[in-house]
Amino acid sequence: MSKQDSILKEMDNLFPNPKCELNYSKDYELLLAVMLSAQTTDKRVNMVTGPLFSQFDTLDKLSKLSISEIENHIKSIGMYKQKAKHFKSIVSSLVEIGGYVPNDREILLKMNGVGRKTVNVVLSNLYNEPCIAVDTHVNRVSKRLGLALMDDDVLEVENKLMKEFPKDKWSKLHHQLVLFGRYKCKAVNPECESCNLKDFCRDVHEYEKKA
């Protein structure tokens, strides 16, 4: 079995039904939550978006919040001042284009605070578009498993993953690699001893050194 097939098989074994761990019930809530999730955990984002989206349950209500009011709601997460500005700007952009998140990469990328990773997560979850969003987990796991070079930037990692795996696997694999990085192949103290992918791993020697 090829390395790629082994990885896909193990991901299906570990995470047969992976999904985004950010809570949302509306398309714009996902876009805002993904923007807020930069440099922080999904859990922490859910803690602020839960009360915020419940109290202001329409785009119209969110659009009436000032930047300082948004700051007050999200101040427990990192970079909240900058994120509050992006939040306000994204909500205004969405209101301007009709109040929905378009299936249009170019329009989304023009919004403040919305980068390639955010667009990939949003299009994949809302529109089932084949995408591989490279966040910190996908980046680390891809490099450990030799799917990318250590000094590749996130775009290079994304391109290599898209080349290595069939298109119909991309979205699911993205979620699986995020979960694998979050819960097993962690940045610190990865669970190498029980990892079925250690034959392919560049970092397994760290585990062997400790063993």
| Catalytic residue positions, numbered | 117, 135
Q: Binding to ligand SF4 by residue 104, rule CB under 6 A? A: no
Q: Binding to ligand SF4 by residue 11, rule CB under 6 A? A: no
User: Near ligand SF4 by CB under 6 A, which window of 2-10, 66-74, 116-124, 192-200?
Assistant: 192-200
Q: Is 140 or 172 the residue whose CB approaches ligand SF4 more closely?
A: 140
- Answer for which of 137, 144, 172, 182 binds ligand SF4 (CB under 6 A) is 144
Least distance to ligand SF4 from the beta carbon of 193, Å?
8
What backbone torsions phi and psi does residue 124 show, to the nearest 5 degrees? -70, -45
Q: Binding to ligand SF4 by residue 197, rule CB under 6 A? A: yes
Q: Binding to ligand SF4 by residue 138, rule CB under 6 A? A: no
Q: x/- string (CB under 6 A) for ligand SF4, residues 147-186?
A: -------------------------------------xx-
Q: Return d(Cα 106, Cα 103) in angstroms, integer.
A: 9
Unique residue bearing structure tokens 């922490």: 44
What is the DSSP secondary-structure string of 195-209? Answer: -TTGGG-SSHHHHHH
Sign of CA dihedral 16, 139, 50, 98: negative
Q: Binding to ligand SF4 by residue 116, rule CB under 6 A? A: no
The answer to whether 103 and 144 are in contact (CB under 8 A) is no
Q: Is 77 or 201 the residue whose CB approaches ligand SF4 more closely?
A: 201
79: left (phi over 0), alpha (psi -120 to 50) or beta: left
* Number of neighbouring beta carbons within 10 Å of residue 168: 9
Sign of CA dihedral 198, 10, 35, 69: negative
Residue 190, SS3?
A: coil
Binding-residue total with ligand SF4 (CB under 6 A): 14
* Number of neighbouring beta carbons within 10 Å of residue 118: 25
User: Near ligand SF4 by CB under 6 A, which window of 40-48, 53-61, 76-84, 197-205?
Assistant: 197-205
Q: Return d(Cα 123, Cα 102) in angstroms, integer.
A: 9
- Answer for which of 22, 101, 177, 204 binds ligand SF4 (CB under 6 A) is 204
- Answer for which of 145, 157, 161, 177 binds ligand SF4 (CB under 6 A) is 145
Kindly list the residues in this chain that would bind ligand SF4 in the complex (CB under 6 A): 144-145, 184-185, 190-192, 195, 197-198, 201, 203-204, 207
